[in-house]
Structure 1
Amino acid sequence: MKAWFTAKDLAGIGGLSKHPSNVTRLAKREKWEYRQKEGVKGGGFEYAMSSLPEKVQSALKKKVIASLLPKTQPTKNNDLEHLTQNQRAIADARMTIVAYVQQLEQLQPRYKAIKYFCNQAKNNGLPEHVQSLIKVANARNKNGKSERTLSERTLNQWVLDYEKCKTPAERLQRLAPLQRREKELNELVWLPHFLAVYRNTNGVNIAEAYTQYISQAAEHYADQPYMLEILPSLSAVRRGLKKLNPYMRAIGRKTGAELRALNTYVKRDWSVLRANDVWVGDGHSMKMKVAHPDHGRPFIPELTLVMDTASRFIVGWSVSLAENCLAVADAIRYGVEKHGIPAIYYSDNGGGEKNWMLDADITGILPRLGINHQTGIPGNPQARGIIERVNQTLALRIARQFATYHGTGADRETVRKTSTAVISLDKALRDGRTELTDKQQWAKGKLPTWQQFIDAVQIGVDWYNNEHIHREIGMTPARKRQQLLNDDDIIRVTPIEARDMFRPQVLRVAQRGWVSLFNNDYFSQRLLDVDGEKVVVAFDIHDANSVIIRKQDGTYLCEAIWNGNKRAAFAETFVDKARKERHQRRMKLKQEQVDEIRAEANPVITIEHQPSTDLLHGLNQVMKQKNEERVAILPSELEYQRRKAMGE
């Protein structure tokens, strides 16, 4: 904003005369600060803004601020498509009153009819239905408590407006009151600057972001006071943010799946598919605790479900200690053995779904069955919405049956009480206590066993398939699958094929009749025929006494027997190996926590470094000046001093 203005610039501003000559005379009379105008032939004066009257300065600032705001075309707030329900009701009331006045005009002139109507309205002399319309037509108060009636001038204007229109639509538009127009987003010039502060992944709230925004603006506009005057208030900022939709507000504050959950999405049409075209699977941590099948302590189990997308029928399920390849493979095995082989298996990109056991070109379970494995984008569960929804519907239904449920809707105090009581009871039983406290007695039976959990899952899956009416398909999944089922299209496997196909496979090198697998050695004389070559080793995850050996082209070679294992006294199954690795990972994590606690209890003592001189070197220099014996630093020096003392 410039600091000097000519008389022409000031004419008509803040109550000044519209003629520049009168402004010049006023300036001389009030002795405004002035200077010679530069770059203009023949002279001319400019007046300093600081010397102008306060009223004029204020008007100049408002003029400059208005010039900085974006130029927007005013919207017609009474356009038919923009009329609110309240505006329409007011317009209808006004048109009804005008029609009543037109009836009175048949007996007397218009001005007398209007005067008569207003007097009757003031004295409540009009018919009840017309009298009640006056409060609506006034459009003054929303509660209907105002005693205000119509004036003759207002009613006359309504009659004139009514007669100027030719169609009902025009009358509705003209008699509807103007609605106060809210500012559009493009008029909020401060919004982009505020969003630059507000869009923070740390979750800063509006008040904190506003404080930071004002601080930055005060520093940036320190030499522009008129810009500081138009900064929005905190309330204005809150109103402005409400104009943004939830997705726009979340940009920069949320990422990944949480942000995509607010955006629009493409809804997959699964109805065009047939049975066993596409299966979708996913693992879900249960919102409950059960007794661990090995040591009996409370832990949170994992439920893996595999669903036929066309019918929403759960074809396979598995429970495990954690989401891993074994649980997924077991759920697929269950589904294939009972319901045939699908064309496509769709899953997320997690460790349990995308791994060598499922997808390896030669050794993977899915390629051997001819199943095309498709994976979703990491961190994008919306792409598998139907299986995610089942986890919410079925998994929560199963978990709510038990006292150890701690998910949505559970009372926090009861969850805390149950959890501490179950842990206390478990510890007492492990310590061999015979007398239990009241709290421990109360916890008895609260923690379900592993078998109780499995039975509950089976009952829940049967209920979902056979009794649950699915909202999108309008019937039970079992009935829908029956409609879509065509036995000619179902590819089934025999029990012998299933046993062989669902053995996980790995590639190993045969060495002089032996192959090594998971610290176990397996021997067969036939392995000498493929000595030094890679062979396919198929193993049973529960039985490590033997493995099936095939060539890479799938030709059966032999069955190798565990024997001569020098690393373990007994053959170690794959399940045992996985359990041991899980144990080692958990122990490593706990050891890191212990090391951190010990480090906090024993802080590191920092010794100040002497940058200029080594301490021992400095001590030797002092001794040398005093003609005293040199301090021995090395073993050789110590030996020298010993010999010197003995006269050797």
Structure 2
Amino acid sequence: MNNLKTHYTATELANLSLACLPNTRQGVNHQAKKQFWIGRKRVGKGGGYEYELASLPRDVQDEIKQKLAVSVMTKPKSEVVTKPVNIDELTDKQRAIADARMAIVAYVKQLEQLHVRYKAIQYFCEQAKQNTLPEHVQELVNIANARNKDGKSNRTLSTRTLNQWVLDYEKCKTPAERLQRLAPLQRREKELNELVWLPHFLAVYRNTNGVNIAEAYTQYISQAAEHYADQPYMLEILPSLSAVRRGLKKLNPYMRAIGRKTGAELRALNTYVKRDWSVLRANDVWVGDGHSMKMKVAHLEHGRPFIPELTLVMDTASRFIVGWSVSLAENCLAVADAIRYGVEKHGIPAIYYSDNGGGEKNWMLDADITGILPRLGINHQTGIPGNPQARGIIERVNQTLALRIARQFATYHGTGADRETVRKTSTAVISLDKALRDGRTELTDKQQWAKGKLPTWQQFIDAVQIGVDWYNNEHIHREIGMTPARKRQQLLNDDDIIRVTPIEARDMFRPQVLRVAQRGWVSLFNNDYFSQRLLDVDGEKVVVAFDIHDANSVIIRKQDGTYLCEAIWNGNKRAAFAETFVDKARKERHQRRMKLKQEQVDEIRAEANPVITIEHQPSTDLLHGLNQVIKQKNEERVAILPSELEYQRKKAMGA
């Protein structure tokens, strides 16, 4: 018996085993005739007769209702509804709800000592409905119902639900099983493979122009409406904008960025290999990198404000900065100077690790015969272009040390600097520089305020040296737990250090190139060098070693490294004085800058003076056609050539 009915047959009443009625069909029919029950013919298969519940005696009605209540309380739910969840996937909210339900079951168990179970359940539910339970027990009911986000609900606890909790609790033998059985089912979100629309949306969303989700969704819906114009069902199941946002959240940041970001910015979201530098010894691996300073200093040559470049070389095992150099821009000279500084003071490393930029990977450092690093026996390893994560150890130093140096000066314009102060300082320094170059004696208040704000080149170099000393000797490095100088001292073994003498260093760090000897001469950077010994290797390639600051002579060696001679600059027809490599590099840099500026000037002029085209006249040009018209009208001919113009002038003068 599941539900209370309005009519019952004699067989149904007999099967209920009521105390106030006979247990046979004949006995029930006899009582019906005797007490004048109201009945009707039974509708359906089998026919027969059934009696109205309201016409039965009151005690019979009450007992039928009581029987129905007991059956409702004791009947378990189907196994499909009570299917247990995976205990390893339970959330904190599911565990809290299961704990509250088990606590309520424990209270019902205590009430069973005073009443039968169904009465204990009815009593508890009635008290919960009237909100007369103790405060902490009433809170358990709110949590156990689990109807909204905060665990509270105005919906009361039903006897059927509570009875099911009691039955589930008794079926389990261990606390883990009870937790699993009483935990509510979690709403299952769709998996990525179920989002059939996602690939089509990503085809629109993955755009390097950075379109947002709403813009991409509008374009996606427009394309889908056109594609599924004859398929109404497909149009109905298209996702909403909210569904698209939820679906994209299922993708990790790297998957979302594919097609929208490239290069180092995309690789920064992906996993990476973390290098263990602790297994190395001192001078095993050096790593170097150039960094544009977030400040301006006075240019070494013309004194105008510019942004300098700082090149650092670090010993990876100890984090000790072994060499540094400053320059006007990242180039091979700065890198070579930083390596020279480190080698002269701290020995030759086994490996030098750098990026693949123009300042690092070039003929001066890496050429097989003439490169500085091969001559020193240093293995040069380079990283992937645009992948600074591989050299994070030196990139972090730029954040720690370079910013510390730059923040000492008023011209700092990096992270944390006030934008308004940066603007005022920059304009004031430029204004002061222009006034000094113009030779003005009276300065404005703004220009007076700018005095001393722009550091000199020497002040910048001194600050770098102080910063490097602080980093090596005072800074406690987080990864090694001590100063780099102390760590290097622990790892240092004098027997492993390969040192060079000053004379060897001078020779080693002379850049070298291959040139062909021709009748006692070699040409280098628009300079000609002569030695009688060059006749012995006439027509052969020789190694020319030069000093970047002194162009008066070069050292000539054979390709196997054998010293040949020192060639002297003489008879140069192209310049009055020998042009040094530094001068040549500076001149090329100026030419590149001038070319860039000239292109900008040409563009501005083109915008101001647009070209007006005249349609070409077949067989003759426009002016000759005009002359023909003038001749027909007996008018003055238009002068085209200088001779015609002179003729007309003489004619006008009567000559």
Superposed pair shares fold, TM > 0.5 = yes
Q: Is the Cα contact below 8 Å between 1:421 and 1:439 reproduced in 2?
A: yes
The one-character-per-residue Cα deviations of 1:150-191 (angstroms, maximum 9, x if unpaired) are: 232222221112112232222112211122222211111111
Tell me how far 1:624 sits from its aligned partner.
12
Structure 2 contact 314–321 (Cα < 8 Å) conserved:
yes
Task: Give the equivalent residue in structure 2 for 1:483.
Answer: 490
Letter in 2 for 1:205: N
1:419 maps to 2:419: no
Quote the residue 1:382 is aligned against: 389
SS in 2 for 1:182: coil
Residue 379 (structure 2) aligned to one of 366, 372, 377: 372
1:583-594 map, 5 Å: 583-594=590-601
1:275 paired to 2:282: yes
1:32-84 deviation per Cα after TM superposition (whole angstroms, max 9, x unaligned): xxxxxxxxxxxxxxxxxxxxxxxxxxxxxxxxxxxxxxxxxx9x893112111
Paired residue type of 1:574: F
Q: Is the 8 A contact 2:198 2:247 kept in 1?
A: yes
Structure 2 residue 439 is matched with structure 1 residue 432 = yes
The one-letter code sitting in structure 2 at the alignment partner of 1:381 is P
Look up the SS of the partner of 2:254 in the other structure: helix
Cα distance in structure 1, aligned partners of 2:238 and 2:192? 16
Taking the aligned partners of 1:447 and 1:600, their CA distance within structure 2 comes to 36
Map 1:325-344 → 2, pairs under 5 A: 325-344=332-351
**Distance in 1 of aligned mates of 2:236 and 2:334:** 65
Q: Match for 1:88 among 56, 80, 95?
A: 95
Q: Which residue pairs with 1:513 in the alignment? A: 520
The answer as to whether partners of 1:77 and 1:179 remain within 8 angstroms in 2 is no
Percent identical among aligned pairs is: 95
Tell me if structure 1 keeps the 8 A contact 2:543–2:556.
Answer: yes
Aligned match of 1:562: 569
Alignment partner, residue 254 of structure 1: 261
Change (3 A) 1:284 1:624: closer
State which drifts further: 532-541 or 329-338: 532-541
Which of 450, 455, 465 is equivalent to 2:462? 455
Q: State which of 207, 210, 221 in structure 2 corresponds to 1:203.
A: 210
- Could you tell me how far 1:631 is from its partner in structure 2? 12
Quick one: structure 1 residues 101 and 414, their matched pair in 2 at CA, closer, same or farther if it must change by over 3 Å?
same
Q: Alpha carbon RMSD of aligned pairs, Å?
A: 2.9
1:431-461 CA distance string (max 9 Å, x none): 1122222222222222111111111111221
Rounded to whole Å, the distance in 2 between the matches of 1:218 and 1:243 is 25
User: In the aligned structure 1, how far is the partner of 2:619 from the partner of 2:203?
Assistant: 50
Structure 1 range deviating more: 591-600 or 520-529? 520-529
Is the contact made by 2:146 and 2:152 (CA closer than 8 Å) also made in structure 1?
no
Once residues 446 and 633 of structure 1 are traced to their aligned partners in structure 2, the CA distance between those partners, rounded to angstroms, is 63
Equivalent residue in structure 1 for 2:293, among 286, 291, 299: 286
Please point out which of 307, 310, 322 is paired with 1:300: 307
Deviation of 1:258 after TM superposition, in Å, equals: 1.0
In structure 1, what is the equivalent of residue 480 of structure 2?
A: 473
Q: What is the CA–CA distance in structure 1 between the aligned matches of 2:615 and 2:520, rounded to whole Å?
A: 64
Which of 166, 170, 173 pairs up with 1:166?
Answer: 173
Deviations 1:216-239 (A, max 9, x none): 111101111111111112222111
CA 1:77–1:408: 2 relative to 1, 3 Å: farther
Alignment-derived partner of residue 362 in structure 1: 369
2:550 pairs with 1:543: yes
Post-superposition Cα deviations, 1:100-152, rounded to whole Å, max 9, x if no partner, equal 21122122211121222233334555444333322221212444665554232
- The alpha carbon displacement at 1:364 in A equals 0.8
The equivalent of 2:249 in structure 1 is: 242
Q: For residue 193 of structure 1, what is the aligned residue in structure 2?
A: 200
Aligned-pair CA distance for 1:342 = 0.7
Secondary structure of residue in 1 paired with 2:312: strand
| Unmatched runs of 5 consecutive residues or more in structure 2 | 1-80, 643-655
| Aligned counterpart for 1:410 among listed residues 405, 414, 417 | 417
- What amino acid does structure 2 have at the position aligned with 1:434? T
| Contact 1:275/1:484 (<8 A) preserved | yes
Query: In 2, distance between residues paired with 1:572 and 1:249?
Result: 55
Which of 1 and 2 has greater Rg? 2
* Matches of 1:542 and 1:634, distance apart in 2: 57
The superposition leaves residues 249-287 of structure 1 with CA deviations (integer Å, 9 ceiling, x where unpaired) of 111111111111111111112222111111111111111
Q: Note the residue ranges of structure 1 that are not aligned, 5 or more in a row.
A: 1-73, 636-648
C-alpha separation between the residues in 2 aligned to 1:493 and 1:512?
Answer: 36
User: For 1:416 and 1:633, how far apart are their aligned partners in 2?
Assistant: 57
Q: Indicate the SS of the match to 2:467.
A: helix
- 3-state SS of paired residue (2:551): coil
Distance 2:615 2:555 in 1: 66
1:544 counterpart SS class: strand
* 2:399 paired with 1:392: yes
Instruction: Identify the range of structure 1 (525-534 vs 305-314) with the bigger mean alpha-carbon deviation.
Output: 525-534
Letter in 2 for 1:219: E
Per-residue CA shift, 1:477-520, capped at 9, x if unaligned? 22221121111111111111111111111122223332222122
Secondary structure of 1:179's aligned partner: coil
SS at match of 1:545: strand
Q: Bigger shift: 270-279 or 322-331? A: 270-279
Q: Distance in 2 between matches of 1:623 and 1:456?
A: 80
What's 1:36 paired with? Answer: none
Describe the shift of the 1:563–1:348 C-alpha distance in structure 2 as closer, same or farther (beyond 3 A).
same
| Letter paired with 2:115 | Q
Contact 1:286 1:302 in 2 (8 A): yes
**Cα 1:78–1:277, aligned 2, differ >3 Å: closer, same or farther?**
same
SS in 2 for 1:266: coil
The change in CA–CA distance for 1:631 and 1:597 in structure 2 (over 3 A counts) is closer
Question: Contact (CA 8 Å) 1:307, 1:313: kept in 2 or not?
Answer: yes
Matched position secondary structure for 2:193: helix
2:47 maps to what in 1? none
CA contact (8 A) 2:217 2:241 kept: yes
| Secondary structure, aligned partner of 1:402 | coil
